Chains A and B, each alone.
Chain A
Amino acid sequence: MLRNVPVRQKLVLIVMLASGSALLLASAGLIAFDFVRFRTEMAEDLASTGRMIAANSTAAASFRDEDAAYDTLESLRARPTIVEAAIYDDEGGLLAVYPRSAGASVPARPAAGVPPPEPALVVFEPIRHQGESLGTVYLRGDPAPLYERLRLQAVTVMLVLVVAALAALLVSSGLQRVISSPIQDLAELARAVSERRDYSLRATKHGADELGQLVDAFNGMLAQIQERDTALLEAKADLERRVGERTRELQAELAERRRAEALLERSNAELAQSNKELDDFAYVASHDLKEPLRGLHNYSLFLLEDYGEKLDADGRAKLETLVRLCRRMESLIDSLLHYSRVGRVDLAIGKVDLNDTLAGVLDSLGINLEAERVEVRIPRPLPTVRADRARVGEIFRNLISNAVKYNDKPEKWVEIGCENGAGRPPVFWVRDNGIGIPEKHHDAVFRIFKRLHARDKFGGGTGAGLTIVKKIVERHDGQVWVESTPGAGTTVYFTLEKGKPT
């Protein structure tokens, strides 16, 4: 009920309740004390009056003199607090009643020794003379003054209470500020802090009591919060700065990458263009070169046939060399033409059963292989792939030819295989036990017209075979590479689709 009342009012209420209840208790105690004392006084007064009446009515009681007894009682007229009285003789007979009208209400017989019911003020006083009991005096006092006094005191106490409450209200209203105003200040400050998030505010200290300690503790907390808030803000700013920096860096990197990509794209396009131009040029050049070369060759043959007898041996030898060089020139141009065609003509991609393709290739090479007594090994059947059938056949023909050609062993063999890697393109290989290729030449072997040996060694050739293989593989988006141990053999690996091989 009081929980939501402001501290200020609580303090006032507490002070008033405390002082009020203290005052009330004290007053009640005083009134009770006074009540008892006053009643005792009245009882004593009544008793002494009783003794006086008794002393004055000895003779009247002795002589049973009713008139004298009444006269004695008449003296009570001066005592309005005594409402009725009576005198009994020594036998308990009623001698006199005062006032006369009270005859019916006085006890018919004295009841000395029996305590009257509270709070009636009743006295039975024996009438004695020289140790002899002569009768009894009965007196009944009026308790009204007692209650009148009680009522007056209660009214007085009420008035005092009201006045005291007003005084307490005034005093405590003034003094409560000593406690409540620091608390109020603190509460308002706390509200201000939480509303404005201004941690630089500080509470004012009013003294070194518990409230002062509270204010100190509160200020300490505020200081800590302020410190942390500042640190937090700094950390936040720092973080933002770093994020900004990183963003700018990333943007710069991104721009750089885009520039590089654009550059790459452009140079790729340029490269493709120049490749195409080169291919076109190679075709046109070689095609156009062939005709005059054919003439040169033919006319050289004509010279040998028609005028050979007119020339000496040296002359004929030179003409024969001319013819041979023409033929060589022609084969070089053919190779070049072929190479450029591989680069220019679109692939005819379809399903290719490599086992069929390989069988065809081996068929066409059959005579050669028999002559050289080469063992062909195919450990496992080959898969079916999507590729250009003719070109793939060309790859195998070239590689098998090379394997047979560059082999000085008496028992030659060629092994064709395939390795399937999970999630990776299958890798095909052609392995031989031939002369091998030193590692420094592993790249050079793919260059056009590059020959590692003398022109007349290992059956000659234009040196375009591996170059054409590489071109076909690359047009299938595959890769080709060489592993070799000189003197022990060579393995050429290739793939026919995009992806990093095992």
Chain B
Amino acid sequence: MLLTPGVLAAQRRAAGEYEVKAAYLYNFAKFVEWPAAAFESERSPLVFCVVGQDPFGDSLQAVLGNEKIGQRELMVLKARSIDDPEVCHVLFASRSERARFDQVLAPVRDAGVLTVGDADGFLEAGGLVELTLDGERVRFEINGPAAERSPLKISSRLLRLARIVAPGPPGR
């Protein structure tokens, strides 16, 4: 938690957009419970995957680097595409993958992976959380039906902060 507060505090000072979003990823992880099967052991790390062109730079690594959630260390995996997306617990789909969200999300749909994106149509493609901008402020929407189907337990506290939406069928 050395950099995160600084980053969040910086949001009020119009800090870098992806610094804030990195902190959000970390915060989402705090309010979500994964099924026990998602980990090999109680000490297995929580893995954050960034798919596509990485917009965070070093900021995600900076936020998560020295943090733990419970007993779990936090790890970042970056790839243009992920061969085995089931390794991931939090999956951030970059805007660069906008055209192939379905492909990206298909392997992890309803599979206990918290999928986060920041591009329009992410929820419609079956994503769970979409980061939006309200002026300079970062907010998020949660795909209500998908969240209900998911084996993840999303804390009501988190749900209370989010805008819950029920997106139409994918593809416009």
Contact of A68 among B31, B155, B160 (CB under 8 A): B160
Is the pair A62, B9 in contact by a Cβ cutoff of 8 Å?
A: no
Interface residue? A132 (CB, 8 A): yes
Most buried by A among B11, B12, B30, B155: B30
Number of interface residues of B (CB under 8 A): 17
B86 to chain A, nearest CB (A): 25
Q: Are A132 and B1 in contact (CB under 8 A)?
A: yes
The A-contacting residues of B in range 5-58, CB under 8 angstroms, are 5, 8-9, 11-12, 24, 27, 30-31
Q: Are B5 and A129 in contact (CB under 8 A)?
A: no
Contact in complex: B9, A65 (CB < 8 Å): no
With A59-B155, A129-B30, A130-B70 known as contacts, the answer to whether A65 contacts B5 (CB < 8 A) is no
- Given A68-B160, A130-B70: A63 and B24 within 8 A (CB)? yes
Hey, what's the 0/1 contact readout for B69-101 against A, CB within 8 Å counting as 1?
A: 110000000000000000000000000000000
B161 on the A face (CB < 8 A): yes
Give chain B's interface secondary structure class. helix
Chain A residues within an 8 Å CB radius of B3: none
User: Is the C-beta of B158 less than 8 angstroms from some C-beta in chain A?
Assistant: yes
Instruction: Return B106 CB to nearest CB of chain A, in Å.
Output: 29
Question: Which A residues touch B30, using CB under 8 A?
Answer: 62, 129-130, 132
The distance from the CB of B164 to the nearest CB of chain A, in whole angstroms, is 14
CA distance A60 to B155 in the complex (A): 12
- Interface of chain A, helix or strand or loop or mixed? mixed
A91 partner residues in chain B, CB cutoff 8 A: 5, 9
Residue from A60, A93, A129 within 8 A of B161 (CB atoms): A60
Shortest CB-to-CB span from B162 to chain A, Å, is 9
Known: A90-B1, A130-B30, A130-B70. A59 touches B9 (CB 8 A): no
Asked if B9 contacts A93 (CB within 8 A), the reply is: yes
Cβ < 8 Å to B, chain A residues 85-104: 89-91, 93
- Pick 11 A–B contacts, CB within 8 A, sort by A: A63-B8, A63-B27, A63-B161, A64-B8, A64-B12, A65-B161, A71-B160, A89-B5, A90-B5, A91-B5, A132-B30
Residues of A near any B CB (own CB < 8 A): 56, 58-60, 62-65, 68, 71, 89-91, 93, 129-130, 132
Residues of chain B whose beta carbon lies under 8 Å from any beta carbon of chain A: 1, 5, 8-9, 11-12, 24, 27, 30-31, 69-70, 155, 157-158, 160-161
